[in-house]
Amino acid sequence: MSFIESVTRLGKPFKTLYQLVVFYRQKDVAKFYEAYGDDVVFGEDQGFTNTDKALWLNFGHWGTARTYKEACVALADMLADAARLEPGHEVLDVGFGYGEQDIHWVKTREVKHITGINITPLHVKIASERVAHCGLGDRISLGLGSATNIELADASFDRVLALESAFHFDPREGFFEEAFRVLRPGGRLALADFAPVPGSGPASAFDKTVLRALAIPDVNFYDRDEYADKLRQKGFENVEVESIRNYVFPGMDRYMKLRRKGRSMDDAVVELSKEEIDNCSGVEDWDRFGRMNDYLIVTADKPATSGS
């Protein structure tokens, strides 16, 4: 019996701890997500054997949603609304996961074209296959690429989006610079992202250890106010940073607990009370994950008169 098989037999908590140790040693986003597999919940990977399984990898918006897929669609719609996606837009999606949101946005927002870049080869492969299966290969182009060194021409896109991926970018400020460069004058950046809550202070030694395990550079440990300041420093205007943590963590916390009790993705139905939402129930469970316990919708515009 191999060591990993022995760890797995001890139960999911031990397997998860082992995975975190491995991830910390690797410090590699691509390997992190390859180990995650086809499920946002650690240990629930099915190896892509279920072709009907939705491959969302975000925490979702649980305001009215009751299932994981509903929550993920709600979050994708919220980000699309924040980006003001319109028919005819040319969009860059940075860190697209398995491409679920891109397929959704093309179908529901009728954007002209989405170009996606991602650092994880597995994501590119699976997402490209899904796009082709949907017959959208002429509307969505996906490939390998770095968020902090985007190999695309200046002023190429009307919108740049990153749905729950920018916290991985090393550093996130490098992505801000590249997003500004590839946006057309008057273009808009829209992000859904994790951050520490205001007042968290600097990252502790423990925070840094956990963040590295999760392939999150500790230089990205700053709150929503500093987030906005950094965008302005890179030339963006009309910067807005809204916390939606109350509609994210309670639902995701409950969903993960149901999955770990044996519920399937579709059968894990989450019913939240107003009190649980108001109190952001379950967010304390995320303190041990590097204290990235705020969840932000971020928008910023490139000035229409910019010469960049």
* Helix locations, 38-115, DSSP H: 68-83, 100-109
Asked if the structure places residue 297 within a domain, the reply is yes
Among 21-25, 92-96, 176-180, the minimum mean pLDDT is found in: 21-25
Dump pLDDT digits (tens) for 258-304.
Answer: 999 999 999 999 999 999 999 999 998 888 888 999 999 999 999 99
Residue 8's pLDDT is what? 39
Give the structural domain span for 210: 60-301
Nearest to 303 by CA among 210, 207, 231: 231
What pTM did the predictor assign? 0.91
CB neighbours of 132 closer than 8 A, spacing ≥ 6?
none
Asked if the structure places residue 232 within a domain, the reply is yes
Give the distance between the most distant pair of CA atoms in the chain.
64
Residue 66 in contact with residue 119, Cβ under 8 Å? no
CATH number for the domain spanning 79: value is 3.40.50.150
The strand order across the sheet containing 140-144 reads 140-144, 113-118, 90-94, 157-163, 183-195, 294-301, 237-243
Dump pLDDT digits (tens) for 220-264.
Answer: 999 999 999 999 999 999 999 999 999 999 999 999 999 999 999
Asked if the structure places residue 55 within a domain, the reply is no
Asked if the structure places residue 259 within a domain, the reply is yes
CB neighbours of 176 closer than 8 A, spacing ≥ 6?
189, 230, 231, 234, 236
Task: Work out how many domains the chain is built from and give that number.
Answer: 1
Asked if the structure places residue 290 within a domain, the reply is yes
Asked if the structure places residue 46 within a domain, the reply is no
Dump pLDDT digits (tens) for 30-82.
Answer: 988 988 899 999 889 999 999 889 999 999 999 999 999 999 999 999 999 99
Asked if the structure places residue 42 within a domain, the reply is no
pLDDT surpassing 60 at residue 307: no
Q: How far apart are CA 103 and CA 113, in angstroms?
A: 11
Can the peptide bond before residue 171 be classed as cis, meaning omega within 30 degrees of 0?
yes
Asked if the structure places residue 64 within a domain, the reply is yes
